[in-house]
Amino acid sequence: MEYRIERDTIGEIKVPQDKYWGAQTQRSKENFKIGDEKMPIEIIRAFAQLKKAAAISNNKLGKLSDAKTAAITKACDEVLEGKFNDHFPLVVWQTGSGTQSNMNVNEVVARRGNELLKEQGSEEKIHPNDDINMSQSSNDTFPTAMHVAAYEDIYSRLLPALSQLKATLLNKEEAYMNIIKIGRTHLQDATPITLGQEISGWRAMLEKCEKMIKESAEHLLNLAIGGTAVGTGINADPRFGDMVAAQLGEQTGYSFVSSDNKYHALTSHDEIVYVHGALKGLAADLTKIANDVRWLASGPRSGIGEITIPANEPGSSIMPGKVNPTQSEALTMVAVQVFGNDGAIGFAASQGNFELNVYKPVIIYNFLQSVHLLADGMISFDVNCVEGLEPNVEVIEENVNRSLMLVTALNPYIGYEKAAEIAKLAFKEGTTLKEAAIKTGYVTEEQYDEWIVPSKMVNL
């Protein structure tokens, strides 16, 4: 491998000749050989948007030449196109402010910008600190990139996946609204419900989660940019933060604003904790839905077996023909990871000391992982399970007819205690509810047939 010599304030260091990063990135790469978790590409993309917006804003403020601005803007666009993905090698486990990833972007954009200037015959030279990082500090750019990446991923990745699953559930809800089945509470038989009504509960969960995620995500539109090192905005024009936020809005289509209190924006990550709480709520509801599906599909002959799910792959290496609820299992494992991420994010966010929180990389890594896992998990669950979910009508009808909890409909006519006596008698003697009711003498056959009508018990 061929190398070139790069220099920073520490001294000289060898950098691979074919890489666009510089000395500070190389030092981080060598000093933090910890784990395999790389800084998410979404953060790099957010940084590219930010550096582009910063260059345009500094140009408008008269601080950056037109030639440099054009070169930086072009270089940032190329980063956004994915042309330099291999040039951002740093791991999550680095400085807690994310300084080294900020400099990684600064160095790559500066080197590419200088190539563009040279191609144009310009003698100007772009410096990663003085030009790309002008009016900025890692302390305000990294949390800004965190919010930009988080908001973008929620709207471009998570919410579309949620909408897809929600739409499928709505279709199933409407299709199965008149299929009467037995309800269950405490894992025990309860009064009747329709399969469509049961699925409507699942669909409503996703609607509520969608609303809570959108509401909480609005707090991510507040950006730390303009606060620089400690929130005072040292070395930045007082207008810079607002200008960058507005420019980011033009570039992304999102209504970003510069936070009205930068001291809060640098040291607190309560907005991300809040939004991830909504993601945890989604994970909790997805766990419930996935568990319901695998319970209802259990068996198929020795379990509940009221629905069937697609047989996507052999379920056992030893038992031929076995079909397992693998999509439910995958989705609930995703939820477990999200619950763990929530704990890590909450603890990391509590560690802000004085003017800076230095757990930023692990916070955003876990946040974005939750978004990605939930989005991918919902799509997989939808395509490979929910779309192929079908009722086993014969089993559903048999379970309704065998249920002792239909006796609840007799309460208004004979009272709770007599109705309970009928249910206990049927259970003890292994007879039908109708046979037990008539045997007690509390109701006639005609009364039973009139009062015990499952279709009248589901409130359609």
Residues flagged as binding site for substrate: 97-99, 127-130, 137-139, 185, 317, 322-324
Alpha-carbon distance of 194 to 178, in angstroms, equals 6
* Two tokens, residue 313: 């792959």
Question: Sign (positive/negative) of CA torsion 336, 341, 346, 348?
Answer: positive
Write phi, then psi, for 126 (nearest 5 degrees): -95, 130
From residue 125, give the alpha-carbon distance in Å to each of 14, 71, 121, 418. Answer: 21, 10, 11, 92
Pairing of strands 222-223, 257-258: parallel
Containing H/E element for 373? Answer: helix 360-384
* Two tokens, residue 42: 């979404």
End-to-end CA distance of the chain: 73
Cis peptide before 300 (omega within 30 of 0): yes
* Two tokens, residue 176: 């199965």
Full DSSP string of 395-457: HHHHHHHH-GGGGGGGHHHH-HHHHHHHHHHHHHHT--HHHHHHHHTSS-HHHHHHH--GGGS
> 38: which strand partners?
91
Instruction: Name the CA radius of gyration of the chain, rounded.
Output: 30
The answer to whether residues 391 and 344 touch, using CB atoms and an 8 Å cutoff, is: no
The answer to whether residues 152 and 189 touch, using CB atoms and an 8 Å cutoff, is: no
Calculated CA dihedral for residues 47, 53, 56, 61, nearest 10 degrees: -110
Calculated CA dihedral for residues 369, 372, 374, 378, nearest 10 degrees: -160
The binding site comprises: 97-99, 127-130, 137-139, 185, 317, 322-324
**Residues catalogued as catalytic:** 186, 316
User: Within 32-133, where are the H helices?
Assistant: 41-60, 66-80, 99-119
Alpha-carbon distance of 81 to 287, in angstroms, equals 36
